[in-house]
Amino acid sequence: MKTMSKTPHTLPSGRVALSQQTPPIALGPLDGRYRPQAGILVDYLSEASLNRERVHVEVEWFIHLCEQRALPGLESLTQDQKDGLRAIVADFDAQSVAELAEIEAVTVHDVKAVEYYIGRRLPELGLEHLKALVHFACTSEDINNLSYALGIKDAVQDAWLPAARKLVAAVSAMAQEAKATPMLSRTHGQPATPTTLGKELAVFAHRLNRQLNRIAKTEFLGKINGATGTFAAHVAAAPDTDWPAISRSFVEGLGLDWNPLTTQIESHDWQAELYSDIARFNRILHNLCTDVWSYISIGYFQQIPVEGATGSSTMPHKVNPIRFENAEANAEISCSLLDTLGATLVTSRWQRDLTDSSSQRNIGVAFGHSMLAISNVVKGLERLDVAEDLLAEDLDENWEVLGEAVQTAMRAEAIAGREGMDNPYERLKELTRGHRVDGERMREFIGGLGLSDAAEQRLKGLTPGQYTGLAEQLVDRYAN
Ligand SMILES: O=C(O)C[C@H](Nc1ncnc2c1ncn2[C@@H]1O[C@H](COP(=O)(O)O)[C@@H](O)[C@H]1O)C(=O)O
């Protein structure tokens, strides 16, 4: 029997091989359906942007060595030469990516490929005689750690933080709007002392803001000190140069904080610190999602349907809280990656192993899932209406929550010397525990307690919806 020969574009099952299609089909969702939300990170944390940063660091090191006259015979470059070198970075594009890949296929070393890529461009800048200055005295990690630090710093400052701040601003605005909207609270899921919806949202804004303040203060550390952090090659080549000073001014000139003491690798402790803060932000966001999801589920929030959109494929009445569910999932994935990075990056055998190289390639993925979670929460919050009637109804059905107010006022009366205020907690417990109490019964009970006139009037005038303490003022004072 004659067998049909399969082309490489066909799977053994006879199906088209999607992996062989052009343009290439993404494996992961961040480069597929979620590209609009996470794509901005390609400019900072993709392999291409890492390579662009590597070119940037190599070029700046080249210029810095000349400017510092770090070696005998080195002279400052002309402005045209410096502009030409910096244009290699500015013009870095898809063609550069392809060229680098070609070189790397031969070198099997990604940083060496960058060195050759720059070397190829020196003749046209009249700098061929300085080819040996590219990557001078560097180990690859000198270039890598600075490139990652620059990419991560820009990703945080230009992409992640602005998105996170927009989200927190949205939560704060909702908190302000609902600061005086009374809501039954539910400690342990059971009716408890009322609060306001705005104050509960303000707690999230406050928590998220604390993490943002920490993240905004991140120290982005970098080093450039050679193969084992001793400047050995530098000193061997130019013993009279103050290499630590040159290293420091270079790292600081890039906008990073100088790490003076390392092995071959920058120790990555600052990355672990940053990732734990971002993971904590994700987790607080996750908590916001599950709370809002639950409020939607009991009707406190109504979701505004999107014109033309489908809730359920089979139950036409439904509007599902999918934005919050998506955000939960993506916050979890981001946290797993950030936790793994934070836990593993701080360990490297002896003077280095290469595990960090492979795991750091996923930093963008960790940030991407967090950006996606943030974007979905913003979208979800935009489509919520507060069901004030239902909130009020729930409060009115739970007059027993005033038990705390009454027993505490009785204690104050007793402390002030009023007779007959014994066992306030027990008396309220007898009235309220496991019993439904309405307004009339509560007022009748208060009337029979023998309180001072002022206290009795104050408590009789109280409803569950008014028993929200300083919730509104707390939002005004602390939630901006
Ligand atoms: O400056 C050096 O290169 C010193 C050398 N240490 C290395 N430091 C940094 N990169 C190195 C190192 N070794 C390999 N490579 C190259 O790293 C790339 C690893 O690729 P992947 O496994 O995909 O993360 C891949 O491109 C590797 O070729 C040492 O011997 O200490």
312 in active site: yes
Q: Is 357 in the pocket of ligand 1 (CB under 6 A)?
A: yes
Which residues have a Cβ under 8 Å from the Cβ of 286 and sit 6 or more positions away?
327, 328, 331, 332, 335, 373
Is 140 near ligand 1, meaning CB less than 6 Å away? yes
The residue length of the chain stands at 480
Q: What is the DSSP string of 162-231?
A: HHHHHHHHHHHHHHHHTTT-EEEEEETTEEEEEEEHHHHHHHHHHHHHHHHHHHHT---EE----TTSS-
Among 47, 109, 224, 351, the mutation site with the greatest number of ligand 1 atoms within 8 A of its Cβ is 109
> What ipTM does this complex have?
0.94
Active site residue 435: no
Q: Encoding tokens for residue 308?
A: 């033309």
Cβ of 349 below 6 Å from ligand 1: no
Distance 148 CA to ligand 1 centre (A): 15
CA of 70 relative to ligand 1 center, distance in Å: 26
Q: From the alpha carbon of 358, which atom of ligand 1 is closest?
A: 24
**Model pLDDT, residue 8:** 66
Asked whether 110 lines ligand 1 (CB < 6 A), one says yes
**Which residues are within 8 A (CB) of 422 and not within 5 positions of it... i.e. 6 or more apart?**
414
Expressed in angstroms and rounded, the spacing between residue 112 Cα and the centre of ligand 1 is: 9
351 lines ligand 1 (CB under 6 A): no
Look up the pTM and report it.
Answer: 0.95
pLDDT along the chain (480 residues), means of 10: 60 96 95 96 98 98 98 96 98 98 98 98 97 98 98 98 98 98 97 98 98 98 98 98 98 98 98 98 98 97 83 77 97 98 98 97 98 98 96 97 96 96 90 87 95 97 98 92
Nearest atom (ligand 1) to Cα of 357: 24
Residue type, 49: S
> By the 8 A CB rule, do 330 and 289 touch?
no
Question: Which residue minimizes the CA distance to atom 14 of ligand 1?
Answer: 109
d(CA 225, CA 232): 8
CB proximity list for 374: less than 8 A, separation 6 or greater:
163, 164, 166, 167, 285, 327
Residue 249 Cβ < 6 Å to ligand 1: no
Q: List the beta strands (DSSP E) in 306-392.
A: 384-386
**Which atom of ligand 1 approaches the CA of 265 most closely?**
8
Q: Is 318 in the pocket of ligand 1 (CB under 6 A)?
A: no
| pLDDT at residue 1 in the model | 52
DSSP 72-107: TT--PPPHHHHHHHHHHHHT--HHHHHHHHHHHHHH
For ligand 1, atom 9, name the residue with the nearest CA.
140
Quick check: 40 and 371 in contact, CB under 8 A?
Answer: yes
Q: Could you say which of 188, 317, 358, 435 is catalytic?
A: 188
27 CB under 6 A from ligand 1?
no
